[in-house]
Amino acid sequence: MSQSTEFDLLMIGVDDTTSKAIQPFTSDLRVRAITTPAEVEELIESIQLPPGMLVLVSSAIKELSQFEIGQALSSSYAGIHINFVTSERSTFDLTNLKKNGFTDTFLFPMDIKRIEERIETVKVNKLSAFKKYKAVKVVDIKSNQKLPFEVRTFLPLNNKYVKLTKDGVLSDKKAETLKSKNINSVFIDVREVEAFYDFAAEQMMSLGLAGNDAVSETEKQEQFQSNVRNLFRSFLDVSTTSGDLEQGRDLLEQSKKVVESYVIKKTGLDLRSKFREILGTGGDSYSHAQSVSTIASLLSMATGIGKPEEVAIAGLFHDIGKQGVGDEVSVFNCADLEPEVLATYHGHPRLSLSILREKRVTLIPLIAEMIEKHHERVDGRGFPGKVQAHKIPIEAQLLSYADAFEHLSGPHPGMKAFTPAEIHAKISAEVGISIEVLSRIEKFVISVAAPEGDQGPGKAPSAG
């Protein structure tokens, strides 16, 4: 191998659909696309790939399997990142892909945000003018003191990031404004992430905290999301399609531990504060799952509808079958889909259950019913079964509310952020939830915007 690379990103056997989907992320990068066995052979024989090179591989080269490509690349180059990208769950074979040299695997479109992040990492390293910001929790930022990084807020209506700090200091006044507007996340340049983590660690140490208590809220959320992603990957991995009962029990136990560790235990008695923390998080399929799980459990605690741990489990996996449809699709915009895509979207609650059962996960009937019926409507116009109101458990309606609330609370470029009251009004008008459930939820959701001193209904019901 003698030739040096004249490209920043290498794609091998990536199909047209996936290429089109990731094309917006690759602007300003030099991309080399390889589509034939001869080009693969030429690459291996004559081109030196530097350590750190990102390689995206798919299965569009029919004469070569993804495993052969992975073996060839991993045995020929050191330190490169070989990622498999697929839109077909039948090729989401994590065990064998890892054995054959792949460092990560992405299921499209569920992992589209992850793919974007990987490509943007290349941009950060290659393009000095490229700006990328990372969300961090406001609670981890201290006001009125010198910070080793700049803090920004995102204005969705203008699709702009605006700096909040002056000379590295976030004023008390601006911090109070963030709090009053229920803004729970701010943004830092990804090049300053390590400085943020160091700062957060020093803050925890100065408070005398240890163990898990010494971890910033930002890192706790990242750990939560990582655990959710690992669970999803375990369920979707086709290398263990024929699950046995022991595997099913293990997966269910892991799911319960995630819910217990990151949802139930972390809630405490101040439900309103916890609810405020989850507003506007946005993100990908995994952050949607963790947010819906958290919102549903909080609403359960605040209203007495269902058991928090059960609605949290249902919230975690309600959309695991939402494959072939982008994260941005929801009940609020699905009418615009092409008929074939709309049919796929309408089938995702039952596919979610099918995936769980395929792994021999034994859910109690109510959790299964919540997952299957979280898009049913009391007027009988929901999906997938168009069932009537008396056949829709109130717990499924609560999950429907949490799902819709998460979609609406996230940042939407080009639109102003909704208040909790506006979100509740939109859900009440458009989602098909019973008046009984809406009235029980309304008092709590409206109280979220109330001043801190006004406790309202935002306390967990007392035991006994």
Note down pLDDT in tens along the chain; length 464 residues: 556 678 999 999 999 989 999 999 998 999 999 999 999 999 999 999 999 999 999 999 999 999 999 999 999 999 999 999 999 999 999 999 999 999 999 999 899 999 999 999 999 999 999 999 999 999 999 999 999 999 999 998 888 999 999 999 999 999 999 988 888 899 999 999 999 999 998 888 887 766 656 688 899 889 999 999 999 999 999 987 556 778 888 988 999 998 888 887 655 557 777 777 777 666 788 999 999 999 999 999 999 999 999 999 999 999 999 988 888 889 988 988 999 999 999 999 999 999 999 999 999 999 999 999 999 999 999 999 999 999 999 999 999 999 999 999 877 777 778 888 999 999 999 999 999 999 999 989 988 766 554 545 455 443 33
Domain boundary among 211, 229, 245: 211
The pLDDT of residue 262 = 80
CA distance linking residue 347 with residue 372, whole number of Å: 9
Element at 9 (helix H, strand E):
strand 9-12
Sort residue 389 into left (φ over 0), alpha (ψ -120 to 50) or beta. alpha
CA distance linking residue 109 with residue 233, whole number of Å: 14
Residue 464 lies in a domain: no
Residues 45 and 62 in one domain: yes
Residues 149 and 227 in one domain: no
Residues 427 and 289 in one domain: yes
Residue 459 lies in a domain: no
| CA neighbor of 365 nearest in space, from 339, 393, 346, 343 | 393
Question: Which residues have a Cβ under 8 Å from the Cβ of 105 and sit 6 or more positions away?
Answer: 83, 84, 85, 86, 92, 94, 97, 98, 233
Q: Which two tokens stand for residue 96?
A: 């064998």
Residues 150 and 227 in one domain: no
Residues 307 and 387 in one domain: yes
Residues 60 and 144 in one domain: no
DSSP assigned state of 335: G
Q: For residue 363, give Cα distances in angstroms to 64, 135, 254, 354, 369.
A: 40, 34, 13, 12, 10
Residues 107 and 168 in one domain: no
CA distance linking residue 183 with residue 377, whole number of Å: 31
Residues 139 and 103 in one domain: no
Domain boundary among 171, 190, 211: 211
Domain boundary among 211, 235, 250: 211
CA distance linking residue 199 with residue 197, whole number of Å: 5
Residue 454 lies in a domain: no
Residues 189 and 227 in one domain: no
Render 94-152 in DSSP notation, one character per residue. HHHHHHTT-SEEEETTTTHHHHHHHHHHHHHHH-TT---EEEEEGGGSPTTSB-SS--E
Residue 452 lies in a domain: no
Residue 191 lies in a domain: yes
Give 163's strand partners.
152
Give the full edge-to-edge strand order of the sheet including 31-34.
Answer: 31-34, 9-12, 54-57, 81-86, 104-107
CATH of the domain at 412: 1.10.3210.10
Place of tokens 């609330």: 405
**Domains contained in the chain, number:** 3
Residues 7 and 58 in one domain: yes
Residue 232 lies in a domain: yes
Residues 301 and 423 in one domain: yes
Global model pTM greater than 0.85: yes
Give 100's strand partners.
none
Residue 277 lies in a domain: yes
Buried/exposed code over 35-48 (b: 16+ C-beta within 10 A; e: otherwise): eeeeebeebbeebe
Residue 463 lies in a domain: no
CATH of the domain at 10: 3.40.50.2300
Place of tokens 């959710």: 228
Residues 64 and 161 in one domain: no
Element at 82 (helix H, strand E):
strand 81-86
How many other C-beta atoms lie within 10 A of the C-beta of residue 95? 11
Is residue 53 a contact partner of residue 29, using CB atoms and an 8 Å limit? no
Residue span of the structural domain in which 259 resides: 216-447
> Helix crossing, 435-447 with 285-303: angle to 10°?
100
